[in-house]
Amino acid sequence: MSGACEIIRYRPEYKDAVAQLQTALWSPDPAANRRYFEWKYEANPWSVEPRIHLALRAGRLVGMRGFYESRWEIGSPAQTVSVPLADDFAIAIGDRKRGVATQIMQAAIADLADSGIDYVFSLSAGMVTMMGSLALGWKSAGRVEPLARREPGAVRHARVRERISRMPVLWRWADAPIFRSAAERRPFQALDAASSRGPSVAIAREPRPEPMAELVAELGHDGRLRHVRSREYLAWRFANPMHDYRFLYATRGGRLAGYLVLRARTMSLDPTARVCISDLVGCDARVRAELLATAIEAGRFAELVAWAVSLAPDERGLLRARGFVPLDPERDARGWPCVLVRATRGKHPSEWSLGARPLLDPAGWDLRMLDSMAG
């Protein structure tokens, strides 16, 4: 470690500095990053104040780690618990490999413990963050098992970009729009043109937070740890300024019987045109299968990704039949991406539990991509 930093809690006068620092993670536009910050940490329906820890060197911001508020329910009858979600880890380029990340995390965990927080989760850590977190006492609660379906045209374009990326001079333009298919440039074009799929499935741009939350409540809870999906939470979640959403609604007898949420990124350093299935809820297997089939057939996405961990066996079978395969077998074999858990106090991992249920047992989670910032 070459010089300790001062670790402080976030203060509003650092908002612009955070937006600038996050041009290495969120988007290259500080103004867009500021909007994202305000949505995530200030408009969050469960947040009192941003739970963020900053690293300063000679008064200059060189690192941050954010924890945004979330609510979970577990057990039967369900009890609701508050768990901060660790996210947004950024270190200035000149201060990497100088121990800043470790200093921030040690100070943050101690501060969370002092605030009465027992556990923190991380649901969308990158590979580097995952490895660093495991070294600092975090534990994996299981892989999320991402599966992907790619259109043949998108595969061909990806191969062309890969060849160009290895060419002298031309590598600079490997991600140029001209080398991307129409489905990659405009992910929702085909879905928007489809409008609807018969009388039972509607395709929409706007969320319906109240009936969606009512459907989740009506279907009940099996006692596993799952994120609260209230009207207030869903309304906030789908206002994410970094994402573009589409909603598929299945109705029966004039009432909502199921929904499927799709998301694409609108602002990111990652040029991927990937569309993800963020959430899937249905009153029975037939409704869920109809929603999945509609998304695949009407969307004609260049790349469609789902987390298998959140799907029932019949839904996994449908995805396999439709050509879904592991997104990245090599990284999947190394346990990433995964759910990370950490206690803030000195409990042995075998004692980590909520509602008398062990947190490190993957079978105890009902996890959706929507629960993380990946969705």
For the chain, the structural domain boundaries read: 6-144+337-371, 146-327
Beta strands at 196-197 and 139-143: parallel, antiparallel or unpaired: unpaired
CA distance 61 to 7: 10
Q: Which of 101-115, 140-154, 191-205, 209-223 has the lowest mean pLDDT?
A: 191-205
5 pLDDT exceeds 70? Answer: yes
Tens of pLDDT, residue by residue over 280-321, are: 999 999 999 999 999 999 999 989 999 999 788 888 988 998
Q: Do 243 and 267 meet the contact criterion of CB atoms below 8 Å apart?
A: no
CA distances in angstroms from 256 to 218, 248, 263, 278, listed in the order given: 11, 11, 20, 18
Q: What mean pLDDT value characterizes the chain?
A: 89
Q: Which fold has domain 6-144+337-371?
A: Aminopeptidase (3.40.630)
Q: Does 6-144+337-371 match 146-327 in CATH topology?
A: yes
pLDDT of residue 273: 75
Does the bond joining 329 to the residue before it have cis omega, within 30 degrees of 0? no
User: So what's the pLDDT on residue 10?
Assistant: 97
106/264 Cα distance (integer angstroms)? 34
User: Is residue 364 predicted with pLDDT exceeding 80?
Assistant: yes
pLDDT value for 1: 41
- Mean pLDDT for 84-102 is 91
The fourth-level CATH superfamily of domain 146-327 is Gcn5-related N-acetyltransferase (GNAT) (3.40.630.30)
| pLDDT surpasses 90 at 3 | no
Alpha-carbon span 132 to 342, nearest angstrom:
13
**How crowded is the C-beta side of 295, counted as CA atoms within 13 Å?**
31
Q: Which of 341, 285, 373 is nearest to 136 (CA)?
A: 341
**Per-residue pLDDT averaged across 155-171, rounded?**
66
CA dihedral 169, 175, 177, 183 (to 10 degrees): 150
Pairing of strands 51-57, 60-68: antiparallel
Quote the pLDDT of residue 248: 97
The pLDDT value recorded for residue 148 is 94
Mean pLDDT of the 222-236 span: 96
